[in-house]
C-alpha cells in the first residue's frame, strides 16, 4: 500500500514535471543565497526574485543574505570554501577564473545544454572556462558617456562622434568655467573605464585583450599612444580636480549641479542621476567617440552572474533558481527601468521603454562590431588590474610620471606572467 | 589490588610534586590557547612566506623569492617608510596627552564633564574618526579649507596629495590617541605624592622645573604604558587608512599591515605567500618593540 502511494506520487510528479518543469519538482529543504546586490535598487530586485521564486516553491525555505558589494568581493573567498551557500553572485570572464581553477564553482554545463539556454548565447563565451560553463548571467549593462544635454544645448554643442569633436566640445565647456568630465577615482576602477575606452578606440579590441592577457608590454608604443590621447584631455582640464579623493558616487553632484557636463559610466548610474533631480530631457547618452577610424568600435559591457558553489548543499534547488533567473520573463522584469535599469541577457526578453536602455541595447547589438569587453578589472588578472588602476589614477593626477608608471606596470606584468 | 597500589602511588606522586605541578596546571589553558592562536599562526605565516599560493589551489615552494621581490617592490618601501612615519609621529600623543592631563587636573566645577569631553574621541569608533576627518579635509566643503580660505590660504586636498595624505591620517589618529594618553596621565597624576610636591615647592621649584624633576619622574609608570599603547596603536593603523584613503592616492598611504591585507586578502590580492612575507617583516618590527617592553618590565619586576 505504502509503496503504491509512493509510486502514484512519483507518477504524479513526473507528469506535472513534463507539463510545467519550473513548478513541479516539489523542491524542499533550504536554499541559501548570498548576494552582493546591496545598493537599494538591486536589493529590491533580489528580494523580489526570492519572493517570486518562493511563491513557486512553497516548501522551499529560502534564506537570502545580502552582503555589501565591496565587502562581498573579499568575503566570497572564505564562504565558498568554508560555509558555501547554494547560490552566489559573482562576475563573468577572468574574474571567476581563480574559483573555477580551485574547483569552488559547480560545473553547470548541463544547464547550458538545455534548449532554454540558447537564448543566452551572447554571453556563453564569457561564462566558459575550459569548454565548460560555470554560471549564468542575469544582467549586463552598457558603458558610455552620460552628459548634460541641457548644458550642451546652452553652449551650442552636440554629442561628439569623433575625438576631434570631443576635444573641440571640451574646449568650449572648459572655457565656460566647467569641467568636461566628472570622475571619482578613489576606488580606482573608474579610471580603468577610461583606459578601456581610450585603448579600445586607439588600438582596437584585439590589442586591448592582448594587453589584458599580458601578451604585450606596457611600454609598447601603442600603449603610449593611448596615454597621449588621454593626456590631451587631462592637459586641457577636462576632468574635475581632486577626483582621487572621491568615490564614484561622491563625483555625481558635480554633474548634477552642472559643474561638470559628462560622466563616463555604466548604466547603473542612471537611477542616481534621476534621484539627483536630472530629467530625461537634461540627461543624454552617447557612445564613446571614434579615435582611430581604422579600428572597429568595441564596448565595455560587464556581465553580472549567479553561480552554484561546488560545496552547495541543495544543488537541485539552486539549479532551479538559476533556470528561474535566466528565464525570459524574469530577465525582462528585473532589468526594467524601474528595477535594475539594465539590459537583459536573454534574447527573448524585451527591453523596457527607457531612453538609456534602448540606447544601450541598440549600441551593443548594432554599433559594437569590434567586440564586447567585460571591464578593466575583470579582463586583466587581479594583480595586474590593481597595479594598473593605481597607475592610471596616478597618471590622471601626475601625467608627467608616465614613464615611471609604465615601467612599474611592466614589472608587474612580467612578475605575474611567471 | 594492583589498582589500589597504582592509585596510591599516583596519589603520592602528585602529592610530592604538587608544588611544581599546580602552577603548570593553572598555566595550561593559557599556554594551550597561546600556542594554538599565537605561536602556531606565527610559525605558519613564516613557513607560508616561502610559498607561492593563491589561497585556493596548491601551494608551490619558491624559497626566498618572495623576500627578493620585496626588496625590489617600491610599494613595499613606501609602506615601510609610512610605518616609520606613523611610529615617530604617533608618539606626539604622549606629550600632548600629558599637557591636556595637567591642564585638566584641577578641581573646578564640572571638570568631570570636560574630562569626559576630552576623552570622547577615544570612545568613538576609529571608523567614525576617519569619516569625520575625511569630511574635515574634503577639498570641496571641508572645514579645513574653509578655515584656510578665511585667512587667505589656497585650498589644499590633504588626502588627495601623496605628499600630505599620510600626515593627514596620522593627525586623525592622534586625536583619539591623545585622549587615551590623557586618561592614563590623569590616573597617574592622582598617584603623585603631594608631600614631594610640597617639599619641592619649599625648595623653590616651580613651573617647568617642577614638572621635569618632580612630576614626570613620578609619572614613569603612566609614561611607560602610554608608550606601549601608542606604539601598538601606530602599528595597527589599519582602519583609519582603509576608511580615509583606502591606501591611495596611488598607494602612497599604505602601511605594511594594509599592504599585506591588499596583497593577501583583498579583492585584487591572491598572493598569500607574498602577503605572509610582508607580515613576517612587520612581525620582526613588532618583535623589536615587544622585546623591549618585556625586557623593561622584567627589569622592573627584578627591581622590586
Q: What is the pLDDT of residues B140-149, one digit of tens each?
A: 888 998 899 8
Q: Is the domain of B33 the same as that of B119?
A: no
Q: Is B245 on the interface with A (CB under 8 A)?
A: yes
Do B21 and B120 lie in one domain? The reply is no
The answer to whether the CB of B176 falls within 8 A of the CB of B129 is yes
> Are B54 and A385 an interchain contact pair (Cβ–Cβ within 8 Å)?
no
B239 contacts chain A (CB < 8 A)? no
In a domain, B59, yes or no: no
Residue of B nearest to A411 (CA): B73
Tens-place pLDDT, residues B214-254: 888 889 989 999 999 999 899 888 999 999 988 878 889 99
| B156 to chain A: closest CA residue | A242
C-alpha cell at A246: 572621491
Residue A307: its H or E element:
strand A303-307
d(CA B27, nearest CA chain A) in Å:
32
Give the structural domain span for B289: 73-303
Q: Are A216 and A285 in contact (CB under 8 A)?
A: no
Is residue B177 in some structural domain?
A: yes
Of A316-325, B120-129, B204-213, give the lowest mean pLDDT range. B204-213
C-alpha B142 chain-centroid distance:
29
Q: Cβ–Cβ of A397/B249 closer than 8 Å? A: yes
Q: Which residues of B touch A386 (CB under 8 A)?
A: 262, 267-269
Cβ neighbours of residue A183 closer than 8 Å, sequence gap 6 or more: A190, A191, A194, A239, A240, A243, A248, A251, A263, A264, A396
Contact residues of A toward B, CB < 8 A: 70, 73-74, 77, 81, 98-99, 101-102, 104, 186-188, 241-242, 244-245, 377, 382-383, 385-386, 390-391, 393-394, 397, 408, 411, 415
Q: Which segments of chain A have a pLDDT < 70?
A: 1-25, 418
* Out of A10-19, B96-105, B163-172, B196-205, least confident range: A10-19
Interface test with B, best of A242, A393, A414 (most B CBs within 10 A): A242
B28 and B95 share a domain?
Answer: no
- Asked if A390 and B251 come within 8 Å (Cβ–Cβ), the reply is yes
pLDDT greater at residue B203 or residue B280: B280
Same domain, B146 and B224: yes
User: Are A416 and A233 in contact, with CB atoms under 8 Å apart?
Assistant: no
> What Rg value do the Cα atoms of chain A yield, rounded?
23
Whether B8 shows a pLDDT value over 80: the answer reads no
Q: Is a pLDDT exceeding 50 seen at residue B166?
A: yes
Does residue B282 share a domain with residue B184? yes
Q: What is the pLDDT of residue B270?
A: 75
- Chain centroid offset of residue A185 CA: 17
pLDDT (tens digit per residue) in B51-90: 998 877 788 899 899 999 899 888 899 999 999 999 999 9
Identify all chain B residues contacting A380, using CB atoms and an 8 Å cutoff: none
Q: What domains lie within chain A, and their CATH numbers? A: 13-138+303-349 (3.40.190.10), 143-300+361-417 (3.40.190.10)
Q: How far is CA A127 from CA A91, A107, A133, A365, B61, in A?
A: 9, 11, 5, 19, 32
- pLDDT for position B10: 62
The whole-number pLDDT of residue B169 equals 95
User: With contacts defined as CB-CB under 8 Å, which chain A residues touch B265?
Assistant: 74, 77
pTM over 0.90: no
Contact list in B for residue A245 (CB cut-off 8 A) is 138-139, 157, 159-160, 249
A338 CA: distance to closest CA in chain B (Å): 30
- The pLDDT of B106-114, averaged and rounded, is 86
Output the pLDDT for position A19: 39
Provide the CATH number for the domain around residue B295: 1.10.3720.10
| Band of pLDDT at residue B304, cut at 50, 70 and 90 | low
pLDDT of amino acid B210: 86
- Global ipTM: 0.78
Does residue B65 form part of some domain?
A: no
Residue B274 inside a domain? The answer is yes
If asked whether residues B118 and B159 sit together in one domain, one would say yes
- Interchain proximity B245–A186, CB inside 8 Å: yes
Same domain, B80 and B8: no
Flag whether pLDDT at B261 surpasses 80. yes
- Check residue B171 and give its pLDDT: 95
Q: What residues of chain B lie within 8 A of the CB of A102, using their CB?
A: 54, 56-57
- How does pLDDT run across A110-167, given as a tens digit for each residue? 999 999 888 888 778 788 888 899 999 998 899 999 999 999 999 999 999 999 999 9
Are both B132 and B166 inside the same structural domain?
A: yes
Q: How many CB pairs under 8 A join A and B?
A: 70
Looking at the structure, do residues B224 and B178 belong to the same domain, yes or no? yes
The total of other beta-carbon atoms located within 10 Å of residue B72's CB is 10
Dmax over Cα atoms in chain A, in whole Å? 89
3-state secondary structure of A137: strand
Take residue A223 and report the three cell numbers written for it: 600603449
In a domain, B79, yes or no: yes
Beta bridge partners of A31: A62
In-domain check, residue B38: yes
Contacts made by residues A255-261, CB under 8 angstroms, sequence distance 24+: A255/A146, A255/A148, A255/A182, A258/A148, A258/A151, A258/A178, A259/A178, A259/A179, A259/A182, A260/A178, A260/A179, A260/A180, A260/A181, A260/A182, A261/A147, A261/A148, A261/A151, A261/A152, A261/A173, A261/A178, A261/A179, A261/A180, A261/A181
Q: Is B75 helix (H, G, I), strand (E, B) or coil?
A: helix
Residue B109: is its pLDDT beyond 90?
no
Asked if residue B207 and residue B138 are part of one domain, the reply reads yes
The domain total for chain B is: 2
Please list every residue in chain A whose beta carbon sits closer than 8 Å to the beta carbon of residue B154: none
Nearest by CB to residue B57, choosing from A74, A102, A408, is A102
Query: Cβ distance B160 to B138 under 8 Å?
Result: no
pLDDT for residue A400 = 95
- B149 and B264 in one domain? yes
The answer to whether residue B107 scores a pLDDT higher than 50 is yes
How far out from the chain centre does Cα A97 lie?
16
Contact state of A186 with B246 under an 8 Å Cβ cutoff: yes
Q: Does residue B265 surpass a pLDDT of 90?
A: no
Q: Hey, what long-range contacts does A48-55 have (CB within 8 A, 24 or more apart)?
A: A48/A333, A48/A334, A48/A339, A49/A324, A49/A325, A49/A330, A49/A334, A52/A324, A52/A330, A53/A321, A53/A324
- Please name the residue ranges forming H helices in A83-186: 97-101, 109-112, 121-124, 149-154, 163-175
Q: Are residues B89 and B211 in the same domain?
A: yes
Interface test with A, best of B133, B163, B250, B266 (most A CBs within 10 A): B250
Query: Which of B66, B268, B271 has the most A C-beta neighbours within 10 Å, making it the best mutation to test the interface with A?
Result: B268
Q: What are phi and psi of A89, to 5 degrees?
A: -80, 150
DSSP string, B173-219: HHHHHHHHHHHHHHHHHHTS-HHHHHHHHHTT--HHHHIIIIIHHHT
Contact check, Cβ <8 Å, A98/B270: yes
Question: What is the per-residue pLDDT for B86?
Answer: 95
Q: Which residues of B touch A188 (CB under 8 A)?
A: 248
Amino acid at each position: 500500500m505504502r509503496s503504491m502511494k509512493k509510486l502514484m506520487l512519483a507518477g504524479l510528479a513526473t507528469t506535472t514535471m513534463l507539463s510545467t518543469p519550473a513548478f513541479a519538482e516539489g523542491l524542499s529543504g533550504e536554499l541559501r543565497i548570498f548576494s552582493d546586490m546591496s545598493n537599494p535598487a538591486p536589493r529590491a530586485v533580489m528580494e523580489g526574485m526570492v519572493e517570486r521564486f518562493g511563491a513557486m516553491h512553497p516548501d522551499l525555505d529560502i534564506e537570502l543574505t545580502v552582503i555589501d558589494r565591496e565587502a562581498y568581493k573579499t568575503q566570497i573567498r572564505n564562504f565558498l570554501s568554508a560555509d558555501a551557500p547554494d547560490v552566489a553572485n559573482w562576475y563573468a570572464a577572468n574574474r571567476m577564473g581563480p574559483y573555477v581553477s580551485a574547483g569552488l564553482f559547480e560545473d553547470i554545463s548541463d544547464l547550458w545544454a538545455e534548449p532554454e539556454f540558447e537564448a543566452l548565447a551572447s554571453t556563453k563565451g564569457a561564462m566558459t572556462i575550459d569548454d565548460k560553463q560555470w554560471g549564468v548571467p542575469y544582467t549586463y549593462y552598457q558603458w558610455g558617456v552620460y552628459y548634460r544635454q541641457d548644458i550642451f544645448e546652452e553652449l551650442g554643442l552636440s554629442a561628439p562622434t569623433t575625438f576631434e569633436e570631443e576635444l573641440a566640445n571640451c574646449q568650449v565647456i572648459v572655457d565656460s568655467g566647467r569641467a568636461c568630465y566628472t570622475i571619482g577615482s578613489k576606488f580606482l576602477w573608474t579610471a580603468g573605464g577610461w583606459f578601456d575606452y581610450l585603448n579600445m578606440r586607439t588600438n582596437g579590441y584585439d590589442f586591448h585583450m592582448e594587453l589584458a592577457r599580458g601578451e604585450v608590454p606596457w611600454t609598447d608604443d601603442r600603449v603610449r599612444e593611448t596615454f597621449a590621447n588621454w593626456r590631451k584631455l587631462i592637459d586641457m582640464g577636462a576632468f574635475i580636480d581632486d577626483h582621487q579623493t572621491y568615490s564614484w558616487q561622491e563625483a555625481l553632484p558635480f554633474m548634477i549641479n552642472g559643474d561638470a557636463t559628462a560622466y563616463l559610466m555604466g548604466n547603473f548610474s542612471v537611477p542616481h542621476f534621476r534621484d539627483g533631480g536630472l530629467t530625461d530631457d537634461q540627461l543624454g547618452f552617447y557612445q564613446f567617440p571614434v579615435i582611430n577610424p581604422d579600428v572597429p568600435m568595441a564596448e565595455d559591457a560587464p556581465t553580472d552572474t549567479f553561480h552554484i558553489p561546488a560545496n552547495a548543499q541543495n544543488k537541485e534547488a539552486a539549479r532551479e533558481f538559476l533556470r528561474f533567473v535566466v528565464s525570459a520573463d524574469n530577465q525582462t522584469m528585473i532589468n526594467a527601468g524601474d528595477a535594475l535599469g539594465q539590459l537583459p541577457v536573454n534574447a527573448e526578453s524585451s527591453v523596457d521603454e527607457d531612453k538609456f536602455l534602448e540606447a544601450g541595447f541598440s549600441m551593443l547589438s548594432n554599433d559594437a562590431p569590434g567586440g564586447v569587453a567585460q571591464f578593466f578589472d575583470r579582463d586583466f588578472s587581479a594583480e595586474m588590474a590593481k597595479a594598473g588602476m593605481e597607475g592610471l589614477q596616478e597618471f590622471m593626477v601626475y601625467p608627467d610620471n608616465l614613464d615611471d608608471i609604465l615601467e612599474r606596470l611592466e614589472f608587474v606584468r612580467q612578475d605575474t606572467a611567471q | 589490588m594492583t589498582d589500589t597500589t597504582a592509585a596510591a602511588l599516583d596519589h603520592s606522586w602528585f602529592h610530592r610534586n604538587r608544588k611544581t605541578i599546580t602552577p603548570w596546571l593553572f598555566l595550561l589553558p593559557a599556554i594551550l590557547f597561546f600556542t594554538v592562536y599565537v605561536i602556531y599562526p606565527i610559525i605558519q605565516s613564516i613557513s607560508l612566506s616561502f610559498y607561492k599560493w593563491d589561497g585556493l589551489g596548491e601551494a608551490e615552494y619558491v624559497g626566498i623569492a618572495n623576500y627578493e621581490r620585496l626588496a625590489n617592490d617600491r610599494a613595499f618601501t613606501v609602506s615601510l617608510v609610512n610605518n616609520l612615519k606613523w611610529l615617530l609621529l604617533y608618539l606626539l600623543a604622549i606629550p600632548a596627552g600629558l599637557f591636556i592631563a595637567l591642564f585638566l587636573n584641577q578641581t573646578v566645577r564640572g571638570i568631570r564633564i570636560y574630562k569626559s569631553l576630552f576623552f570622547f574621541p577615544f570612545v568613538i569608533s576609529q571608523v567614525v574618526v576617519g569619516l569625520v576627518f575625511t569630511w574635515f579635509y574634503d577639498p570641496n566643503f571641508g572645514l579645513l579649507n574653509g578655515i584656510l580660505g578665511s585667512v587667505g590660504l589656497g585650498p589644499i586636498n590633504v588626502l588627495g596629495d601623496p605628499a600630505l595624505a599620510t600626515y593627514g591620517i596620522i593627525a586623525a589618529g592622534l586625536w583619539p590617541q591623545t585622549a587615551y594618553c590623557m586618561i592614563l596621565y590623569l590616573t597617574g597624576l592622582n598617584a603623585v605624592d603631594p608631600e614631594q610636591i610640597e617639599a619641592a615647592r619649599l625648595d623653590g621649584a616651580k613651573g617647568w622645573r617642577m614638572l621635569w624633576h618632580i612630576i614626570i619622574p613620578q609619572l614613569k609608570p603612566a609614561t611607560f604604558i602610554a608608550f606601549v599603547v601608542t606604539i601598538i596603536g601606530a602599528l595597527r593603523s589599519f582602519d583609519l587608512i582603509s576608511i580615509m584613503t583606502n591606501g591611495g592616492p596611488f598607494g602612497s598611504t599604505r602601511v605594511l599591515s594594509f599592504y599585506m591585507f591588499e596583497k593577501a586578502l583583498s579583492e585584487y590580492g591572491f598572493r598569500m605567500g607574498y602577503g605572509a612575507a610582508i607580515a613576517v617583516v612587520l612581525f620582526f618590527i613588532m618583535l623589536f618593540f615587544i622585546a623591549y617592553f618585556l625586557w623593561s618590565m622584567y627589569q622592573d619586576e627584578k627591581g622590586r
